Amino acid sequence: MKLEVVTIGTELVLGQIIDTNGAELGRALAGAGVEVVRRSSVADRPEMIRAAVAEALERTGFVITTGGLGPTRDDMTKREVAELFGKPLALDAGVLRSLEERFRRLGRPMPTVNRTQAEVPAGATVLPNPRGTAPGLWVEDARGHVVVMLPGVPSEMRGLLAEQVLPRLAARTSGTVVRSRSVRTTGVAESALAERVGTIEESIAPLTLAYLPSTDGVELRVTAWGLGADDADRRLAEVTAQLRERAGDDCYGEDGTDLAAAVLEQLRRRRARLAVAESCTGGLLGARITAVPGASDVFVGGVIAYDDDVKTAALDVPRALVRAHGAVSEEVVLAMAYGAQQRFSANTALAITGIAGPTGGTPEKPVGTVWFAARYGAEARALKRVFPGDRNEIRARSAQASLDLLRRLLLEKP
């Protein structure tokens, strides 16, 4: 089964907000065996909404929209779709009742504008939305063409999708799925990885392979299209295993694996305790680590040693070391990691010091120069990288590279 998604909102086409709904729909629908063949975003303008929905409907016969169902003037999706289907809008007593009840519960009078939210195209199925004032609407015509309208607020869209839309779609799908798996690598360039992976694409059809580079590394993503679930899973497992083998030690996990979570899991098994010492990342590494639920089993804490005095006062880095080698040096980063181990009574530590820019670079140490250290017991590793990109990218790559240094050290010391 194929469909198109149309996300509606001036703020989307102007780029003032990022279209997370579109991505979330794609992911959830693919998981249910429904392929989104195109996604379009248009402004809150009647003629544009109508054209985008009509064209998408001609191509696939099934369209999901998000946005434009609110009570304010810039909300016009419902009216345009109703006109497109030639169905008049009429007040729905049930929706009105539940709206009035919602406002009663909140202890506020219902603003008049919200009444328009109780109007639905004749014959539409109302998809109840307990999280907000705009219900979803499922409109279908005699040819079997369907438009499903969902609100733009992400939590409301997500709830309606899971509770109302996916179950209805499950009844319509033919038993095939669109399913992906991926092999995540870091510390290796895309083209180097491509040479190692070679010409695997030719042998995996109808599966497809994509290289997705980001500040986390390069993800190898394999997708099975239009196969039965068991067949897709079997073939994906085979190809994933082949890719994993070719990626070797550069692979740190599969699918949604976060490197921080993978490293924490390794440390958890060893009953290790981790502390961090961060300079140029300023807390980003700690934030990455603590974004993982349950990090507190392993992660003790750390020092954000932004100012050089803090490196001395809170991590016992000898001032003479900083003076002799500079704050961005192998000597200092190793001393930071050692200090973090000692100060936090942790057997494992990571340290980062570098120049994230935009200023502070020199010919010897240009912007992007970052030193990392990992310590596990008495084992220590240090590594220098010179990253491309802006301040944010350099910092993101630094957090990832420091975790990777520890991962590789743990690989050596099983």
Q: At what angle do helices 330-343 and 308-315 cross, to 10 degrees?
A: 40
From the CB of 223, what's the least distance to a copy of itself, in Å? 6
In this structure, what are the phi and psi dihedrals at residue 127, rounded to the nearest 5 degrees? -100, 105
How far lies 330's CA from each of 56, 212, 278, 308, 372, in Å?
A: 57, 32, 14, 15, 8
Round to whole Å and give the CA distance between 233 and 321.
Answer: 55
Q: 249 or 307: whose CB is closer to a copy of itself?
A: 307
CA distance 80 to 6: 13
Q: How far is the CB of 228 from a copy of itself (least distance, A)?
A: 19
Least distance to a copy of itself from the beta carbon of 149, Å?
Answer: 18
Q: Which is nearer to a copy of itself, 122 or 162 (CB)?
A: 162
Nearest partner of 150 among 135, 168, 171, 131, judged by Cα: 135
Cβ 63 to a copy of itself shortest distance, Å: 13
Taking the least distance from each CB to a copy of itself, the nearer of 16 and 174 is: 16
3-state secondary structure (DSSP) of residue 118: helix
Residue 366 CB, shortest distance to a copy of itself, in Å, is 13
Helices (H) and strands (E) in the chain, counts: 16, 17
Chain CA centroid to CA 279, Å: 26
> DSSP secondary structure string, 127-176?
E--TTSS--EEEEE-TT--EEEEE-SSHHHHHHHIIIIIHHHHHTT--SE
Q: Is 410 exposed, middle or buried (0-12, 13-18, 19+ CB in 10 A)?
A: buried
CA dihedral 244, 245, 247, 250 (to 10 degrees): 80
Q: What are the respective helix, strand and coil percentages of the chain, to the nearest 5?
A: 45, 25, 30
CB of 220 to a copy of itself, least distance (A): 10
> What tokens does 185 get?
């690598």
Q: Is the dihedral of CA 137, 138, 141, 146 positive or negative?
A: positive
> In the complex with a copy of itself, which residue's Cβ is closer, 282 or 318?
282
Cβ-based nearer residue to a copy of itself, 164 or 398: 398
Closest CB 321 distance from a copy of itself, rounded Å: 18
CB of 26: closest distance to a copy of itself in angstroms? 3
Q: Where are the alpha helices (DSSP H) in 32-133?
A: 46-60, 77-84, 93-105
> Least distance (Å) from a copy of itself to the CB of residue 307?
5
Nearer to a copy of itself, 77 or 133 (CB): 133
Of 202 and 230, nearer to a copy of itself (C-beta) is 202
**Closest CB to a copy of itself among residues 342, 412:** 342
Q: Choose between 301 and 326: whose C-beta lies nearer to a copy of itself.
A: 301
CB atoms within 10 A of CB 245: 11
Q: How far is the CB of 393 from a copy of itself (least distance, A)?
A: 6
Nearer to a copy of itself, 179 or 407 (CB): 179
